[in-house]
C-alpha cells in the first residue's frame, strides 16, 4: 500500500470486547502526537465491534476537523477536499490540515502485491509497542451482556404493479394516507 514503515500496537486484551474504541482512540492520539502527521486516515468502522466510533473520538481528542465516510480525498495546498457518501448521494467538504478522515471502502482499490514488492515489504521497519506502554487508561467502559440474533421476519410478498403496491401500503400496512 506504499507505507515506508509501520507501528504495531500489541495487547493481550480481547480486541472485540475489552479494548474499546475510546482506548484505541487514546492510543492513536499518543501516536499522532509523536508522529505529527498532517492527515490521519482510518477505516470508517471495524469488523468486530462495528462501532464507527474510533475516528470521531480520535478527532475529538486531537481537536482536529474530521470528515467521515470518505469516497475520495484530494490535497489542495494545506487543505483536503473530501467527497463523502451520504444517504442522499455525495457531498464535497473542505477541511484544513491537520485533519482526520474515516474512509469508505470505495476510497481505494488496493493493488495486488508483486513478488518483488513483497520482498521489499519484508525489509520495512515495523515498530512493535505494547498498548499498556502508552500510559492511557485502557479500562473497558461498557460490558456486553448478551448478543442475540434478531427474530426471523415473515416472508415478503411480490406485487404485480405499482398500483397494487400502493394499495397494500395504504390499506394493509396503513403507512400512507
The Cα 138–Cα 20 span in angstroms is 8
* Contact indicator for 80, 73 with CB cutoff of 8 Å: yes
pLDDT for 121:
85
Banded pLDDT at 48 (limits 50, 70, 90): low
pLDDT for 47:
63
**pLDDT tens profile 53-65:** 899 999 999 999 9
**Mean pLDDT, residues 106-110 taken together:** 77
Look at residue 151 and tell me whether its pLDDT is greater than 90.
Answer: yes
**pLDDT tens profile 118-136:** 888 888 889 999 999 999 9
Banded pLDDT at 112 (limits 50, 70, 90): confident
Look at residue 4 and tell me whether its pLDDT is greater than 70.
Answer: yes
**pLDDT tens profile 64-101:** 999 999 999 999 999 999 999 888 988 999 999 999 99
Phi, psi of 41 (to 5 degrees): -110, 130
Q: What single string gives the DSSP state of each residue in 83-119? A: EEEETTEEEEEEEESSEEEEE-GGG--PPPPPHHHHH
Query: What does DSSP say about strands 125-130 and 5-10: parallel, antiparallel, or unpaired?
Result: parallel
pLDDT for 120:
87
Give the Å distances, CA to CA, from 112 to 56, 73, 150: 30, 21, 38
pLDDT for 2:
67
Give strand pairing partners of 100.
Answer: 40, 66
* Contact indicator for 10, 129 with CB cutoff of 8 Å: yes
Say how many C-beta atoms besides its own lie within 10 A of residue 55's C-beta: 27
In 113-135, which positions are buried (b, 16+ CB within 10 angstroms) versus exposed (e)?
eeeeeeeeeeeeeeeeeebeebe
Amino acid at each position: 500500500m506504499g507505507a515506508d514503515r509501520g507501528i504495531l500496537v500489541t495487547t493481550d486484551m480481547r480486541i472485540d470486547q475489552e479494548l474499546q474504541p475510546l482506548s484505541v482512540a487514546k492510543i492513536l492520539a499518543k501516536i499522532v502526537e509523536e508522529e505529527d502527521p498532517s492527515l490521519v486516515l482510518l477505516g470508517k468502522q471495524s469488523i468486530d465491534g462495528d462501532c464507527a466510533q474510533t475516528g470521531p473520538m480520535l478527532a475529538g481528542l486531537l481537536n482536529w476537523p474530521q470528515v467521515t465516510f470518505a469516497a475520495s480525498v484530494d490535497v489542495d495546498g494545506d487543505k483536503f477536499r473530501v467527497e463523502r457518501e451520504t444517504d442522499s448521494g455525495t457531498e464535497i467538504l473542505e477541511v484544513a490540515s491537520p485533519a482526520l478522515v474515516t474512509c469508505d471502502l470505495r476510497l481505494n482499490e488496493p493493488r495486488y502485491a508483486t513478488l518483488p514488492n513483497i520482498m521489499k515489504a519484508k525489509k520495512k521497519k515495523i515498530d512493535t509497542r505494547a498498548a499498556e506502554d502508552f500510559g492511557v487508561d485502557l479500562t473497558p467502559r461498557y460490558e456486553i451482556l448478551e448478543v442475540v440474533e434478531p427474530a426471523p421476519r415473515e416472508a415478503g410478498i411480490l406485487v404485480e404493479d405499482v398500483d397494487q403496491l400502493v394499495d397494500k401500503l395504504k390499506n394493509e400496512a396503513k403507512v400512507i394516507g
